[in-house]
A and B are shown apart, each in its own frame.
Chain A
Amino acid sequence: MTDIRKVLIANRGEIACRIIRTLMRMGIRSVLICHPCEAEGAAAGMADEVVEIEGDPPVSAYLDVDGIIRACKDTGAEAVHPGFGFLAENASFAERLGGEGIRFIGPTPDAIRLMGNKLAARDFCRSLGIPVVPCAREEDGDFMERLKALVFPLLLKAVAGGGGKAMHEVMEETRLKETINLAKEEALRYFGEGSVYGEKLLRDPRHVEVQLLADRYGSVVHLGERDCSIQRRFQKIIEESPAPGLDPELRQELLSSAVKIAKEAGYESAGTVEFLLDGQGRFYFLEMNTRIQVEHPVTEMVTGLDLVEQQIRIAAGDPLPFTQKDIIIKGHAVEARLYAEDPESDFQPSTGRILSLRLPEGIGIRVDHALEKGMNVTHAFDPMLAKVIACGEDRHKALDLLGSALERTVILGVTTNREYLQRIIGHHAMRGGKVHTGFITSNDLKAPQLEDRQRKMLLAAAALVSRQFTDPEFAVPEPYAAIGDWIN
């Protein structure tokens, strides 16, 4: 059993809440760091202790290594869970913690460093005989010529990248120079290092990834695969496990390749190996994420395991309590990411105050979130609001359940992608398992036309509700008092 008694969470929002929930169940005390602007938030309300860290902009509080180490010492936290994003894949942070005698709940700094450099990770996998997409590197000289030799279209990526940031498609030569400069500028800004590389862009591939758990004694198990092909801006919005319609032999190859990578890298903790699948049954190593991922709940729902609990046990030095044959995948789970964004205007993030909130509940439904009525959604943080996950006996049942869960979700006050997700879930291509990374651009997902009567009803309701506040003669307390709190 674990000897960790107190864990600091170096993260925020829904993942902080989710980690705290597991800590509570394990009887481990939780310390949350937070920026003062989130001191009244849901995560702070759940944690045993809260340490405020100042920062401008607010995200910098969650990147403040010295502040986090000080908070560990002040509160006696013995370990840090980094969640995802922020410092989760920062090898120097893991190293600093180690030097201070604080455990990092994640892999070793060496493993983070190996997989964090996308080119080093590629070379590593290639040396193991795992296929990689043809690429051109900046340091090899004559970058432009090497890129052109790959034949357009190309994809530019940051060497230190991840999370879909600083990634750019280049369809033709005329835009190449300009796009390289933009990608380099973004890479420098987000990853502190401006090197980029180019890959041949696969046409509408599938994105399939394998969830792994590894202990420090060399045991590695996979928890099956996830399909995360439905993406916008290279960022996933719908994920599911198992992957639909995957050839069993190809699946087995993906699973065993992933396990091999983790074994050879001396990996420990939870990790994910991502692959791209082309239309001809070939697969390519994409990258390895050395952290818990946003979409981990679908795997938890089909395996019945708590991945955060496993991460903590592994960090405490426990061996994995199961072997591969003990892992049984049961049913099908699908996750939809609710974002504060407007799919009708190119998925631009939206801001606002959550005026009305109703989240779905029920058997087979899980909602990971840190939402509260009255909270402000600002551009200070990532626009993901919640993850709605549904698990059913089979894929159709899971999709039906997710569709009805989204339908019952009400978030008023900020524009969300809720209905867009519903349209994807209900689309015949999705139902038929025809998923690929070009799904969003190649399928018609437009909102249905509003009927004349519906339009009239909306306009009437808006006019009636606004009259209260503009015309003093209608200042009757009820029924409008219920929403009166929100007058600015």
Chain B
Amino acid sequence: MRRCIELLGHRYEVSLNGPSGKTMIKIEDRPPESSSLTTEEGSSFILALGEDTLPMEIARTGEEVFIHAFGRHFYLRILDPVEQAAQAAGSKGDTARAPMPGVVVETAVRPGDIVTRGTPLMTIESMKILTVIKAPREGIVIKVHVENGKPFNKNAPLVTLGEGRERPL
């Protein structure tokens, strides 16, 4: 099994081979090491990697893994192979995404509008602060994803821009 795992803004190729209990793990191009994970109780685990063992607290939901270890909390994301492929194919920042969760206060553009770099697209509210989302480049508004007054999560698409001559969806 190969996985791409994101940790602190970096992505790592991780592959696991062998059955449970005799698993070898390979991270990037480093030499493989034996590894196992055993549960204590609840969310407490013991990780064994090569000669080392370490107690950890682990919780997972969907693609997200939360780990408490070395007195710190970590957030890791197991990347979806489909999403990875899409990103590799190269979308050039065509969609303005939410920098943080919030609510749309006002939308300044409609599909079909021509915008230049810096044109205000939308005003959002997060943390009781209003933020104006501006166009990252020139183009035509193809889609407004969230209606006024509606909430969105972090990274949610807000406004999609197309090249100058594209038609709105």
Q: A-side interface residues toward B, CB under 8 Å?
A: 57, 165, 182, 185-186, 189-190, 233, 345, 347-353, 355-356, 358, 379-380, 383, 407, 410-413, 415-416, 418-419, 447, 450, 453-467, 469-471, 474, 476, 478-480, 482-483, 486-488
Q: A356-B43, A466-B65 are in contact. Are A348 and B127 (CB under 8 A)?
A: yes
Q: Which of B37, B52, B130 contacts A465 (CB 8 A)?
A: B37
Query: Does B85 lie at the interface of the complex (its beta carbon under 8 Å from any beta carbon of A)?
Result: no
A349 touches B126 (CB 8 A): yes
Q: B-side interface residues toward A, CB under 8 Å?
A: 1, 3, 5, 7-8, 12, 14, 16, 19-20, 23, 25, 27, 30, 33, 35-39, 41-43, 45, 47, 49, 52, 54, 56-76, 78, 99-103, 105, 125-130, 151, 153-154
B73 touches A419 (CB 8 A): yes
**Cα–Cα, bound, A349→B99 (Å):** 10
A355 touches B60 (CB 8 A): yes
The 6 closest A-B pairs by CB, nearest first: A479-B39, A355-B59, A412-B66, A348-B100, A412-B59, A356-B43
**Cα–Cα, bound, A450→B7 (Å):** 10
A185 CB, nearest partner CB in chain B, Å:
6
B102 touches A379 (CB 8 A): yes
Q: Which of B7, B47, B64 contacts A455 (CB 8 A)?
A: B7
Closest to B68 in A: A410
Residues of B within 8 A of A479 (CB): 37-39, 45
Closest to B12 in A: A459
Residues of B within 8 A of A461 (CB): 37, 45, 47, 56, 58, 65, 67, 69
Closest to B105 in A: A189
B interface majority secondary structure: strand
Q: Which of B36, B41, B63, B67 contacts A458 (CB 8 A)?
A: B67
B160 CB, nearest partner CB in chain A, Å:
22
B8 touches A450 (CB 8 A): yes
Q: Which of A186, A352, A464 contacts B16 (CB 8 A)?
A: A464
Residues of B within 8 A of A469 (CB): 60
A383 touches B52 (CB 8 A): no
**Cα–Cα, bound, A411→B19 (Å):** 32
B36 CB, nearest partner CB in chain A, Å:
7
Residues of B within 8 A of A233 (CB): 127, 129
Residues of B within 8 A of A186 (CB): 128-130
A464 touches B35 (CB 8 A): yes
A459 touches B73 (CB 8 A): no
Residues of A within 8 A of B19 (CB): 474
B41 CB, nearest partner CB in chain A, Å:
7
A179 CB, nearest partner CB in chain B, Å:
12
Residues of B within 8 A of A351 (CB): 101, 153-154
B66 CB, nearest partner CB in chain A, Å:
4
A235 CB, nearest partner CB in chain B, Å:
9
**Cα–Cα, bound, A480→B74 (Å):** 19
Q: A480-B39, A483-B58 are in contact. Are A459 and B75 (CB under 8 A)?
A: no
Q: Which of B7, B56, B59, B154 contacts A459 (CB 8 A)?
A: B7
